[in-house]
Chains A and B, each alone.
Chain A
Amino acid sequence: QQPVQSPQAVILREGEDAVINCSSSKALYSVHWYRQKHGEAPVFLMILLKGGEQKGHDKISASFNEKKQQSSLYLTASQLSYSGTYFCGTGDGSARQLTFGSGTQLTVLP
């Protein structure tokens, strides 16, 4: 079953913050985050493993709450280059594959 992402779409002004959530009905071992720009392939952002860690690079960070079976992606002081569709992919540890959510379309306006 696909994880549920929210919101489905968000529009921001440059410099504003955004949070994208990813919730699963299954126990999670890992969460991946990817960004896909229009007409391009998805690109890996980060992976979070079981343990409730938080990760980040530049102004994009993420948290993983295994008890709640959810992860959140935080985009701080958004830039125009952050526009795209963000996907979370969840792994349950027993399989090699990920199950992706339906995506969150983020648009950053000047």
Chain B
Amino acid sequence: DVKVTQSSRYLVKRTGEKVFLECVQDMDHENMFWYRQDPGLGLRLIYFSYDVKMKEKGDIPEGYSVSREKKERFSLILESASTNQTSMYLCASSRRQNNEQFFGPGTRLTVL
């Protein structure tokens, strides 16, 4: 059974803290994505990666960075968390272009 896992379901952090969100997929997919989901705004792409060490900015990259050192793992980093980064974060993976994306269960991050 294909699987995308995320390190935490719920996370509470303080303003200014550095936050790491981890995502692992076991399908040998080339592409990996980080989205944030907010009510009424749908899924907005933060960053994606199409290969190890490769990354591209999505629609809302400000305040975030990413790391992909291994094919199966894609990390989202909030260098200095702020309250407006409180959101649901979803990781996804897919084979190359125009293939279905498989989503992880999400991490609900609250920044106080």
Bound CA span A102–B56, Å: 22
A81 at the interface (CB under 8 A from B): no
Report chain A residues within 8 Å CB of B33.
97
CB atoms of B42 and A42 under 8 A apart = no
Residues of chain A at interface, number, CB under 8 A: 23
Binding site for B on A (CB under 8 A): 2, 29-30, 32, 34, 40-44, 47, 49, 87, 89, 91, 96-103
Q: How far is the CB of B40 from chain A (nearest CB, A)?
A: 6
Residues of chain B at interface, number, CB under 8 A: 27
CB atoms of A30 and B98 under 8 A apart = yes
Report chain A residues within 8 Å CB of B104.
41
CB atoms of A40 and B105 under 8 A apart = yes
What would 6 A/B residue contacts be, using CB atoms closer than 8 Å? A2-B42, A87-B42, A89-B101, A96-B96, A100-B42, A100-B43
Q: How far is the CB of A2 from chain B (nearest CB, A)?
A: 7
B102 at the interface (CB under 8 A from A): yes
The total of Cβ contacts below 8 Å across the A-B interface reads: 57
Report chain A residues within 8 Å CB of B102.
44
Contact of B100 among A47, A99, A102 (CB under 8 A): A47
Bound CA span A34–B45, Å: 15
Report chain A residues within 8 Å CB of B45.
97-100
Which residue of chain A is the closest to B35 with respect to CB atoms?
A: A100
Bound CA span A100–B103, Å: 14
In this complex, the member of B31, B35, B43 whose beta carbon has the largest number of chain A beta carbons within 10 angstroms is B43
Report chain A residues within 8 Å CB of B90.
41-42
Given A97-B33, A97-B48, answer yes or no on A44-B101 (Cβ-Cβ < 8 Å).
yes
Which residue of chain B is the closest to A103 with respect to CB atoms?
A: B42
B44 at the interface (CB under 8 A from A): yes
Bound CA span A84–B98, Å: 24
CB atoms of B44 and A100 under 8 A apart = yes
Bound CA span A42–B106, Å: 10
Contact of A42 among B41, B43, B58, B59 (CB under 8 A): B43
**6 nearest A-B pairs in the assembled complex, by CB-CB distance:** A102-B42, A41-B103, A44-B100, A100-B43, A100-B42, A103-B42
